[in-house]
């Protein structure tokens, strides 16, 4: 069988193929030129793909490259001579060999999963955004990131395929889940990341990438910097929960948080009540502007005396309340003494008592005493202190 094929090849196929140039004349030269230029361009694309670190199917690309090169060499060897005749069979064989090479190379370059995912992401205009975009394949390998992603990755190009996983990349962030995260289950996924060093907040959106045959290829993740939202929230908190004159928390925030703060204490809770003496007289005699100066002077004494974990509230025009979680009575008494020692308020020529009347109370959290009863005890203590200060004056 093989011997008969070789005879047929030598006396029929070769003879038919080598008559092409005489039949087509100069157009055969044009045909050869553009055909081999196209094929050469395809081979160059394959070489680039083979050299690229992120190419996952290098063995397949290499096989296609070798196979295509061999076929082109065979076609070139038997089709280039220009002094022979041609027939329809030789033209058909030559055309088929060229078409096979072009289709093979085009398919290898165009229909590669990575190339398709990048093209899909570009179509959705995600890569063109100023935000980092990452493309992850079905194995969780990062196969692409745009120029904005270089700052997060801290490298200009991808590592060899398989070395850069999305899971390892996310490990350096504190992840806050905000929706069910099933990365490759065909559902939309989103989560928040916090950089533990810079405290930058990223809102990450991910969606699956499908090819034209509805086959899932991977996920595209877009990172949106929402750190400004933290700043906005801090500003909103300042205006919603802070007293603008003193910087203490306001009555509204106190009503929201008092029960949770009390219940969060592990052992004991102490509170301190401070009442500004004769604030109404200062307002009546010297005006409300001077009254504001008096209030701020009293609040400064409080803030200088308390600890970082203590919470200071302005619950009325002339009243401050300090919550001291897990604080024994002796420690609360020490803080009260510290406030008195730091007393530095206008004297107003000694016409009336100025400063702060202070009371405090402590309860064990395990006891049945609720926060309301604790407030009543502290209020009675403050009233006694006010009377003592009046007598002592």
Instruction: Please pick, among 83, 318, 344, 379, the residue that the annotation labels catalytic.
Output: 318
Q: How far apart are CA 340 and CA 359, in angstroms?
A: 12
Which one, of 167, 174, 390, lies nearest residue 277 by Cα? 390
Order across the sheet with 189-194: list the strands.
142-145, 133-137, 216-225, 201-210, 189-194, 174-177
Q: Which run of H or E residues covers position 265?
A: none
DSSP string, 73-109: HHHHHHH---SS---HHHHHHHHHHHHHHHHHHHHHH
Supply the DSSP string of 145-179, one letter for each residue.
E-GGGHHHHT-SSPPSTTS-BHHHHHTTSEEEE-S
Residues 6+ away with beta carbon under 8 Å from 107: none
Q: Give me the sheet containing 356-364, strands edge to edge.
A: 311-314, 319-325, 268-276, 356-364
CA-atom Rg of the chain in angstroms: 41
Report the chain's terminal Cα–Cα distance, integer Å: 128
Contact 50, 68 (CB under 8 A): no
Give the span between the Cα atoms of 337 and 331, in whole angstroms.
Answer: 10
Is residue 211 helix, strand or coil? coil
Identify whether 292 is a catalytic site residue: no
Q: Could you give the CA distance from residue 21 to residue 10 in angstroms, rounded to a whole number?
A: 19
How far is the CA of 175 from the CAs of 78, 140, 194, in angstroms? Answer: 63, 17, 7
Please give the positions annotated as active site.
318
């Amino acid at each position: 069988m093989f011997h008969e094929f070789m005879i047929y090849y030598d006396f029929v196929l070769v003879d038919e193929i080598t008559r092409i140039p005489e039949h087509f004349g100069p157009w055969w030269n044009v045909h050869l030129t553009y055909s081999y230029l196209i094929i050469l361009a395809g081979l160059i694309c394959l070489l680039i793909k083979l050299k690229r670190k992120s190419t996952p199917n290098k063995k397949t690309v290499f096989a296609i490259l070798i196979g295509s090169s061999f076929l082109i060499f065979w076609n070139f060897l038997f089709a280039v001579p220009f002094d022979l005749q041609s027939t329809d069979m030789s033209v058909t064989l030559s055309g088929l060999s060229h078409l096979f090479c072009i289709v093979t190379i085009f398919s290898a370059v165009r229909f590669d999963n990575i190339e398709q995912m990048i093209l899909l992401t570009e179509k959705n205009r995600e890569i063109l955004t100023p935000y980092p975009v990452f493309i992850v394949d079905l194995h969780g390998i990062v196969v692409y990131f745009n120029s904005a992603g270089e700052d997060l990755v801290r490298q200009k190009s991808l590592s060899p395929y398989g070395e850069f996983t999305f899971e390892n990349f996310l490990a350096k962030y504190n992840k806050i889940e905000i929706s069910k995260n099933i990365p490759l289950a065909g559902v939309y996924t989103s989560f928040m990341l916090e950089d533990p060093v810079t405290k930058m907040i990223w809102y990450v959106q991910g969606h699956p990438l499908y090819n034209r045959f509805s086959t899932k290829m991977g996920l595209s993740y877009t990172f949106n910097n929402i750190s400004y939202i933290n700043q906005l929230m801090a500003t909103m908190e300042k205006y919603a929960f802070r007293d603008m004159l003193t910087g203490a928390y306001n009555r509204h925030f106190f009503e929201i948080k008092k029960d949770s703060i009390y219940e969060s204490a592990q052992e004991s809770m102490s509170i301190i009540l401070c009442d500004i003496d004769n604030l109404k007289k200062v307002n009546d005699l010297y005006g409300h502007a001077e009254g504001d100066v008096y209030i701020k002077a009293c609040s400064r004494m409080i803030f200088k005396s308390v600890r970082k974990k203590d919470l200071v509230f302005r619950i009325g025009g002339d009243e401050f309340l300090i919550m001291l979680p897990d604080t024994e009575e002796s420690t609360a008494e020490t803080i009260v003494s510290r406030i008195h020692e730091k007393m530095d308020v206008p004297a107003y020529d000694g016409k009336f008592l100025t400063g702060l009347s202070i009371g405090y109370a402590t309860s064990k959290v395990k006891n049945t005493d609720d926060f309301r009863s604790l407030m009543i005890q502290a209020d009675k203590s403050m009233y006694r202190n006010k009377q003592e200060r009046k007598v002592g004056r």
